[in-house]
Structure 1
Amino acid sequence: MSRPDRAPAPATAPAAEDPRGPRASRAARLLLGAFLLAAAVDLVSLLAGAELGHRIAKPLLMPLLAAYAVARGGPRLLTVALLFGWGGDVFLLLDADWAFLVGMGSFAAGHVCYLVLFGRRRTSPALGALYAAALAGTVTALWPDLPAELRVPVAGYSLLLTAMAYRASSLGLLAGAGGALFLLSDTLIATGVADWPQPPVPDLWVMLTYIAAQFLLTEGALRTGYGERRTTV
């Protein structure tokens, strides 16, 4: 007598799997941890006045964040924007006027990448008006105190940065907060160039807002139609 066929097992939905595989997911977690460690070393070094620690940790930040974005399946423009940020970080470590201008140019190229990445998503006209007023007020206030050779470059860069910060809000709260913090960070730098009164340990606040800005922009891009979710079917 032949054995009766077993009843088929009830169909169950397959468990959700990371389309990039467990290795990529593990790599992303490790890279994020390395980025956060480098950020902590940099900020603690600034707080403690350990210049060497800052010079070692700062150039590691954006490459680690860019590698994290790649491991998460992020778009190329996001990676390129972060690497332009790395170029700006490195040049701003040099104490020279030409290096400041080159670093500002590298950051500006990163902002262009962000603007292209954000595309034509809708943004709030009221928020745009607020950013425009902030730009006009800041440039007007800083202009007399900036070195003459930096006035036009700083004004042009400020326009591009403000546009990036405004357009970042189209990706949601995380990216919008990142854009706003980037604007705050660079405004702190500009007030230092203009010899305005500074808060205690000014470089700490510049780097704290900058690190948070780049991380939030990255997470905002990865969570809003980019990265892992684009590889699912």
Structure 2
Amino acid sequence: MRSGALLVGFWVCAAVHLALVAAQAAPFDTLTKAMLMPLLAAWAAASGGSRGLVAALLFSWGGDVCLNIDGLFIPGMALFAAAHVCYLSCFARRGALRRLPPAIPAGYGLAWLAAIVVLWPGLGDLRAPVAAYSLLLVSTAVIAWGVNRRAGAGALLFLLSDSLIGVSLAGLPLLPLHDVVVMATYLAAQYLLASGLMSTPEHPGAARPLPTRAEDRGPEPADTRD
């Protein structure tokens, strides 16, 4: 019940936040944004999520806060990079690399190269940090498909959300309701990643439990008294 209430709270807060973003109702949208990842992290913890997953969500929360403060874009990007490292660790614990479809890395690699070519001229001093962060982001997007489709879809939405931020940084034309789309895809991404990871157990090749004493003894000997 508690975990369900936390998830409902997350989605209610998400809906309010998106409405505030659409209405350009600053600073109230920054307050709701700061509540989102803690709610999702609390839900993940209450639902049995791993420490790595909870850490990824809390690093993301730190990134969200930093991106709302002038002059803290690079620290915010660093916190999101830490979140992706946590996600990659979670993927590795689920054997994602062993189950990764072979066409996925090539497709994402071409998409990353195309995005860099388009964004590069407008990034200025942010070229190096954005290029490094984007490689980590694409790694998350690729390897998540080795966990399950839900995690893969979440990582793809994360990539889309951050790519739209890159479009804004590069001074390129924006979508209608650009900020709403950025946040909507980001929130869906985090939920899908979290729920996808929690639906797949860690160490899938773990050995079976040892037999109990009764099982270890084998069948009882037949009664030969008759």
When the two chains are superposed, the root-mean-square deviation of aligned CA atoms in Å is 1.1
Q: 1:127 aligns with which of 92, 101, 104?
A: 104
The answer to whether 1:73 aligns with 2:48 is yes
Q: 1:142 aligns with which of 110, 119, 125?
A: 119
Name the SS of the counterpart of 1:146 in structure 2.
helix
* 2:39 match: 64
The answer to whether 1:50 aligns with 2:25 is yes
* 1:224 match: 200
Confirm or deny: 8 A CA contact 1:41 1:53 kept in the other structure.
no
Query: Structure 1 counterpart of 2:166, which letter?
Result: A
Alignment of 1:15-34 (within 5 A): 26-34=1-9
Confirm or deny: 8 A CA contact 1:92 1:100 kept in the other structure.
yes
Task: Please state how far the C-alpha of 1:50 moved relative to its aligned partner.
Answer: 1.1
Query: Structure 1 counterpart of 2:73, which letter?
Result: F
Q: 2:157 aligns with which of 153, 156, 181?
A: 181
- TM-score w.r.t. the length of structure 2 is 0.86
* 1:8 match: none
Task: Please state how far the C-alpha of 1:225 moved relative to its aligned partner.
Answer: 1.2
Q: Hey, what's the Cα distance between the residues in 2 that align with 1:146 and 1:54?
A: 26
Q: 1:190 aligns with which of 154, 166, 182?
A: 166
* 2:73 match: 100
Q: Hey, what's the Cα distance between the residues in 2 that align with 1:62 and 1:129?
A: 31
* 1:82 match: 57
Unaligned runs of 5+ in 1: 1-25, 227-232
* 2:182 match: 206
* 1:10 match: none
Query: Structure 2 counterpart of 1:72, which letter?
Result: S
Q: Hey, what's the Cα distance between the residues in 1 that align with 2:27 and 2:199?
A: 35
Unaligned runs of 5+ in 2: 203-208, 210-226
Residues 210-231 of structure 1, C-alpha deviations (whole Å, 9 max, x = no match): 00000000000111115xxxxx
Q: Hey, what's the Cα distance between the residues in 1 that align with 2:147 and 2:26?
A: 36
Name the SS of the counterpart of 2:27 in structure 1.
helix
The answer to whether 1:110 aligns with 2:83 is yes
Task: Please state how far the C-alpha of 1:51 moved relative to its aligned partner.
Answer: 1.6
Q: Which runs of 4+ in 1 moved over 2 A?
A: none
Task: Please state how far the C-alpha of 1:102 moved relative to its aligned partner.
Answer: 0.5
Q: Hey, what's the Cα distance between the residues in 2 that align with 1:125 and 1:90?
A: 37
Q: How many residues align?
A: 199
- Taking only the aligned residue pairs, the percentage that are identical comes to 48
Confirm or deny: 8 A CA contact 1:108 1:160 kept in the other structure.
yes
Task: Please state how far the C-alpha of 1:201 moved relative to its aligned partner.
Answer: 2.1
Residues 45-103 of structure 1, C-alpha deviations (whole Å, 9 max, x = no match): 0111212221110010111000000000111000000000001000001122xx11000
